[in-house]
Amino acid sequence: MNATSNRLRVGKYELGKTLGEGTFAKVKIAKNVETGENVAIKVLDKDKILKHKMVEQIKREISTMKLVKHPYIVQLLEVMASKTRIYIVLEYVNGGELFDKIVHQTRLKEDEARKYFQQLIDAVDYCHSRNVYHRDLKPENLLVDANGNLKISDFGLSALPQQCRADGLLHTTCGTPNYVAPEVINDKGYHGATADLWSCGVILYVLMAGYLPFDESNLMTLYRKIHKAEFTCPSWFSPGARRLIMKILNPNPKTRITAAQMYKNEWFRKGYTPPKFDEEVRINLDDVDAVFSESTEYMVTEERDSKPAPMNAFELISLSRGLNLSGLFETRGQQARPEKETRFTSTKPAKQIISTIEEAAKPLGFNVQKRDYKMKLQGDKHGRKGHLSVATEVFEVAPSLFMVELRKKGGDTLEYHNFYRSLFKGLEDIVWRSEADGKTSPLETRSGKSSPVK
């Protein structure tokens, strides 16, 4: 970029671009300057956590991830804190979400879906053996590494045994409605293991069908169908897959198939290879409480680097799948359907890019807040999920070549699709066009939480 950018360094990590953000945290890619290794760092604001009484939930998430050391689960590497923030350092998984595969391929072939399902059950069964229940299993929380293996992420809603009441059951209704087991909705208590397995069954169905078994815009109608397990399997499901899904999506948790029974299932066992790893790992939870106190043991300093900060190689690679950069600049053109993030390249000056986006957004009813080469576009209309909010940032990839990223921060994804299509019409003068064919430089999109799966 042409402007001075304050790059933050936390301990031995240099923080890069934002990979995702929620209400209370941002996830950033970072580089360990000692080893050159890429990591993902979840950054939490202490004041927000205290204000919203989320200390125990964050402690539980950290403790949970320390308890589950498995090849198919995103690994927590360390936890650090400054006076104002908590930094959770995680394994960086660069293959994207499993959700991406469903969006781009419509659905997976049965053998590929089975492989991911086998890995999912391996990881979930391991969690249950450690008395950890995820409670929010869905394709958006399943990542794929460079070797094509599954990695479960986001244990923010996970439960540990101490959360069970005297009846030995969990009672908190949580998770994503389309993936939630009927007993969770009943609010009479549920076993975390059987509820997680129901979600796994929904995931298997989605992988093979490309759409949800239970999908209604009206929540009460959706819950009624879940309670009755009212769904049908597509014609291309094999008899073995159909039978297994029927056993998992059994509305009666007492007769629902267990993980132990699943391992004996003929369809499940096809091509199955159990993972090899050290199950006896020593767990140290000393830092969990320390990062919330004034303890200096896990305290790190935050330093700002005031040098110009163009997008460097490790950040650029992080936007692609593995080390192949073709996905960044060689996909679907203007017709691509933006899901959660959209990127395009431009050879126009950065200031012109920013002003053009501003001019295109205002007539669409968006307020614009600018800071250097970052923008926040806030819709003035209250949509289905509140006001649509879009973050925009310009990065310098090379001299006279910029990458522009638009990312939905809040609001409905469908409304973002419509907004983006309208916005793009006003950006055609700044989007890079190839001299060879005169076509618009393609966009790279990152799938989010919308169609074909919600």
**Domain range annotation of the chain:** 12-93, 98-269, 325-446
Segment 376-398 mean pLDDT: 82
448: closest CA among 21, 17, 16?
Answer: 21
% pLDDT > 90, the chain: 30
What are the residues facing 30 on neighbouring strands? 15, 39
**What tokens appear for 342 in the block?**
């959209």
Question: What's the pTM?
Answer: 0.67
Segment 404-427 mean pLDDT: 83
The burial class, CB within 10 Å (0-12 / 13-18 / 19+), for 364 is middle
For residue 335, pLDDT over 50 is answered with no
Residue 42, annotated as binding a ligand? yes
242: closest CA among 214, 199, 222, 213?
Answer: 213
Q: What are the tens digits of pLDDT across the range 107-166?
A: 899 999 999 999 999 999 999 998 888 888 998 889 999 889 999 988 766 665 555 566
**What tokens appear for 454 in the block?**
């919600």
> Phi first, then psi: what are they for 452, rounded to 5°?
-75, -10
The DSSP code for 248 is H
Say what the pLDDT of residue 254 is.
94
CATH topology of domain 12-93: Phosphorylase Kinase; domain 1 (3.30.200)
What are the residues facing 159 on neighbouring strands? 133
| 3-state SS class at 249 | coil
Say what the pLDDT of residue 4 is.
42
For residue 399, pLDDT over 50 is answered with yes
**What tokens appear for 177 in the block?**
């409605």
For residue 171, pLDDT over 70 is answered with no
How distant, in Å, are the alpha carbons of 154, 241, 242, 258, 448 from that of 271?
Answer: 28, 14, 18, 20, 31
The DSSP code for 133 is B
For residue 351, pLDDT over 80 is answered with yes
Task: Name the pLDDT band for 212 (thresholds 50, 70, 90).
Answer: very high
What are the residues facing 151 on neighbouring strands? 143
Give the homologous superfamily in CATH for domain 325-446.
Kinase associated domain 1, KA1 (3.30.310.80)
User: What's the rounded Cα separation, in Å, for the pair 95 and 319?
Assistant: 9
Specify the range with the lowest mean pLDDT, choosing from 2-11, 17-26, 214-223: 2-11
For residue 338, pLDDT over 50 is answered with no
- Of 59 and 247, the structure prediction assigns the larger pLDDT to 247
Q: Which helix (H) or strand (E) holds 386?
A: strand 386-398
Look at phi and psi of residue 3 and say left if phi exceeds 0, alpha if psi is from -120 to 50, else beta: beta
Say what the pLDDT of residue 198 is.
96
Look at the block and give the residue holding tokens 């049908």: 232
For 98-269, CATH gives 1.10.510.10
| 3-state SS class at 362 | helix
Say what the pLDDT of residue 211 is.
92
Say what the pLDDT of residue 375 is.
86
12: closest CA among 42, 29, 36?
Answer: 36
For residue 205, pLDDT over 70 is answered with yes
Segment 299-303 mean pLDDT: 70
| 3-state SS class at 194 | helix
> Phi first, then psi: what are they for 46, rounded to 5°?
-60, -40
For residue 362, pLDDT over 50 is answered with yes
- Of 330 and 185, the structure prediction assigns the larger pLDDT to 185
For residue 327, pLDDT over 80 is answered with no
Quote helix, strand, coil % in the chain, to nearest 5.
Answer: 35, 25, 40
CA dihedral 217, 222, 223, 226 (to 10 degrees): -150
Active centre residues (catalytic): 136
What residues have CB less than 8 Å from 157, skipping those under 6 apart?
A: 134, 135, 136, 174, 175
For residue 329, pLDDT over 90 is answered with no
- Of 168 and 154, the structure prediction assigns the larger pLDDT to 154
Say what the pLDDT of residue 297 is.
64
For residue 454, pLDDT over 60 is answered with no
- Mean pLDDT value across the chain: 80
Q: Quote the crossing angle between the two packed helices 98-105 and 192-209, to the nearest 10°.
A: 30
387: closest CA among 376, 398, 395, 378?
Answer: 378
Task: Name the pLDDT band for 172 (thresholds 50, 70, 90).
Answer: low
Say what the pLDDT of residue 453 is.
44
